Structure 1
Amino acid sequence: MPLEPATMTRLQERFDIAAKWALVGVFLSFPVALGLANTLSAVVVLCWLAAGHYRQRWQAIRHNPMVLPALLLFGLILLGTLYSTGDMAHIRLHTLKYSKLLIALVFLSLLDQARWRRYCLGAFAAAMLFILASVYASIWIRLPWISLRANPAQALGWGVDHTVVGDYITQNVMMSFFAVLCLTLCIASQKNRWRGLWLALAGLAVLSITNLSQGRTGYFVLAACLLTFVLTAIPGRGRYATLLLLATVLAAGLLSSRTMEARFQTAWVEIKNHNTDIHSSVGHRLYNYKTVLELIRERPVQGWGTGSYDHESCRMIVNPVECVEFGWHPHNQYLFFWLENGLPGLLAYLFLISRLVSYGRAAAAPDRFLILGLACALIADSLTNSPLFSARENHFFLFMMALLMAGPVLQGAGKLSARPCPSGWRRHSAAPRSGKNIRAR
Structure 2
Amino acid sequence: MIAQAPLIEAPISIWQQRAHKAGLWLTVLTGAIIPLSTSLTEIFTTLVGVLWLAAGHYKNLWSQVRSHPLVRSSLLLYAALGVGVLYTEAAMPDWLGMLRKYRELLLVVVFMTFLDSAWARKAALKAFGAAMVVTLLASFYKFYLVPASLDPNLRVGLPFKNSITHSLLMAVFAFGLVTHVFHHRDDKGTVWKLSALLAVAIFNLFFMVDGRTGYVVFYLLGLLFLFQKFRFRVAVAGLVLLAGFHFILSSTSTLYQSQWNHLSRGVHKYLEGDTNSSIGMRIEFSRTSYEIMMQSPWVGHGTGSFRDQYREFGEARGLERITVNPHNEYMMLGVQLGFLGIGLLLYFMYTLWRYAFALEPLYRKLAQGLALTVTAGCFANSFLMDHTEGTLIMFLTSVLYSPLMHSSQTKHA
Provide TM-score, normalisation by structure 2.
0.90
Render the CA deviation track for 1:348-377: whole Å, top value 9, x for unaligned. 000000100111133221111110111111
Q: Is the 8 A contact 1:86 1:306 kept in 2?
A: yes
2:107 is the counterpart of 1:111: no
2:393 is the counterpart of 1:424: no
Letter in 1 for 2:394: L
Distance 1:152 1:75 in 2: 47
Distance 1:23 1:276 in 2: 48
Match of 2:86 in 1: 82
Distance 2:406 2:23 in 1: 30
Match of 2:153 in 1: 153
2:208 is the counterpart of 1:212: yes
State the structure with bigger RCO (CA 8 A, min sep 6), 1 or 2. 2
Match of 1:135 in 2: 139
Picking from 278, 282, 295, the partner of 1:281 is 278
Match of 2:172 in 1: 177
2:214 is the counterpart of 1:230: no
Render the CA deviation track for 1:325-365: whole Å, top value 9, x for unaligned. 73221011111111111111100000000100111133221
Render the CA deviation track for 1:163-187: whole Å, top value 9, x for unaligned. 2222111111111110111011111
Question: Compared with structure 1, are the counterparts of its residues 177 and 422 closer, same or farther at alpha carbon in structure 2 (3 Å cutoff)?
Answer: farther
Match of 2:163 in 1: 168
Match of 2:314 in 1: 317
Render the CA deviation track for 1:225-261: whole Å, top value 9, x for unaligned. 1111121133464333333323322332233222122
Q: Is there any run of 5+ residues in structure 1 with no aligned partner, and where?
A: 156-160, 409-420, 428-441
Letter in 2 for 1:400: L
Letter in 2 for 1:309: F
CA RMSD of aligned residues (A): 2.7
Letter in 2 for 1:188: H
Render the CA deviation track for 1:280-336: whole Å, top value 9, x for unaligned. 31122122022112112211111111111110111122499999x732210111111
Aligned residue for 1:232, secondary structure, equals helix
Render the CA deviation track for 1:393-417: whole Å, top value 9, x for unaligned. 1111112111111028xxxxxxxxx
Match of 2:28 in 1: 24
Q: Is the 8 A contact 2:209 2:255 kept in 1?
A: yes
Match of 2:183 in 1: 188
Q: Work out the number of aligned pairs and report it.
A: 402
Distance 2:174 2:316 in 1: 42
Distance 2:300 2:45 in 1: 31
Letter in 2 for 1:260: Y
1:197-276 equivalent positions in 2, closer than 5 A: 197-235=193-231, 237-274=233-270
Q: Is the 8 A contact 1:61 1:108 kept in 2?
A: no
Distance 1:302 1:268 in 2: 36
Q: Is the 8 A contact 1:170 1:392 kept in 2?
A: yes
Question: Compared with structure 1, are the counterparts of its residues 260 and 115 closer, same or farther at alpha carbon in structure 2 (3 Å cutoff)?
Answer: same
Q: Is the 8 A contact 2:73 2:347 kept in 1?
A: yes
Aligned residue for 1:166, secondary structure, equals coil
Distance 2:188 2:410 in 1: 33
Letter in 2 for 1:393: E
Distance 1:138 1:400 in 2: 28
Letter in 2 for 1:222: F
Question: Compared with structure 1, are the counterparts of its residues 425 and 174 closer, same or farther at alpha carbon in structure 2 (3 Å cutoff)?
Answer: farther
Letter in 1 for 2:33: S
Tell me whether 80-89 or 234-243 shows the greater mean CA deviation: 234-243
Match of 2:388 in 1: 392
Distance 1:310 1:53 in 2: 37
Question: Compared with structure 1, are the counterparts of its residues 134 and 388 closer, same or farther at alpha carbon in structure 2 (3 Å cutoff)?
Answer: same
Distance 1:110 1:59 in 2: 15
Match of 2:300 in 1: 303
Question: Compared with structure 1, are the counterparts of its residues 279 and 204 closer, same or farther at alpha carbon in structure 2 (3 Å cutoff)?
Answer: same
1:270-419 equivalent positions in 2, closer than 5 A: 270-274=266-270, 278-318=275-315, 326-407=322-403
Aligned residue for 2:378, secondary structure, equals helix
Q: Is the 8 A contact 1:216 1:263 kept in 2?
A: yes
Distance 2:319 2:32 in 1: 37
Q: Percent same amino acid at aligned positions?
A: 27
Deviation at residue 35 of structure 1 after TM alignment: 0.7
Distance 1:71 1:312 in 2: 26
Picking from 87, 96, 103, the partner of 1:92 is 96
Match of 1:438 in 2: none
Letter in 1 for 2:154: Q
Distance 1:363 1:390 in 2: 28
Render the CA deviation track for 1:105-130: whole Å, top value 9, x for unaligned. 11112211111111111111111111
Provide TM-score, normalisation by structure 1.
0.84
Distance 1:153 1:42 in 2: 35
Render the CA deviation track for 1:31-59: whole Å, top value 9, x for unaligned. 11111111111111111111114334643
Q: Is there any run of 5+ residues in structure 2 with no aligned partner, and where?
A: none
